[in-house]
Amino acid sequence: NAGVTQTPKFQVLKTGQSMTLQCAQDMNHNSMYWYRQDPGMGLRLIYYSASEGTTDKGEVPNGYNVSRLNKREFSLRLESAAPSQTSVYFCASSRRVVGPGELFFGEGSRLTVL
């Protein structure tokens, strides 16, 4: 059972470089999310996609773009990386049709921007 798969797991960038974090889920979930986790700040929502074809900003969207490519895939792009974007990034998905949709998380991607 793959669940939520995100790649890469580790990445080092130089300031100004761009990169895309990929995320795919095989649970036929409607909603997908990108969070960043920083020490002492918990998880903060960057962007989410309630359903295929829609995306919405979360708490900290600046410096990021997303694409909901299809129902399975939701990518996060950093166009011009900054040291403040050094973080651990988590992709998650949720069925969220009726009732409390449990979040299923990927294993995280550790990004360092030098």
Partner 1 sequence: AQTVTQSQPEMSVQEAETVTLSCTYDTSENNYYLFWYKQPPSRQMILVIRQEAYKQQNATENRFSVNFQKAAKSFSLKISDSQLGDTAMYFCAFMKSTGNQFYFGTGTSLTVIP
Which positions touch partner 1 (CB under 8 A)?
31, 33, 35, 40-45, 48, 50, 58, 88, 90, 92, 94, 96, 99-103, 105, 107-108
Nearest one of 105, 56, 19, 6 to 46, comparing CA atoms: 56
Contacts of 74 (CB under 8 A, 6+ apart): 23, 24, 32, 33, 34, 49, 66, 67, 68, 91, 93
Question: For residues 15 and 87, which CB has a smaller minimum distance to partner 1 in the complex?
Answer: 87
First to last CA, the chain: 35
Question: For residues 33 and 74, which CB has a smaller minimum distance to partner 1 in the complex?
Answer: 33
Shortest distance in whole angstroms from residue 100 CB to partner 1: 4
φ, ψ of residue 35 to 5 degrees: the values are: -120, 155
Shortest distance in whole angstroms from residue 88 CB to partner 1: 7
Question: For residues 17 and 71, which CB has a smaller minimum distance to partner 1 in the complex?
Answer: 71
Shortest distance in whole angstroms from residue 76 CB to partner 1: 16
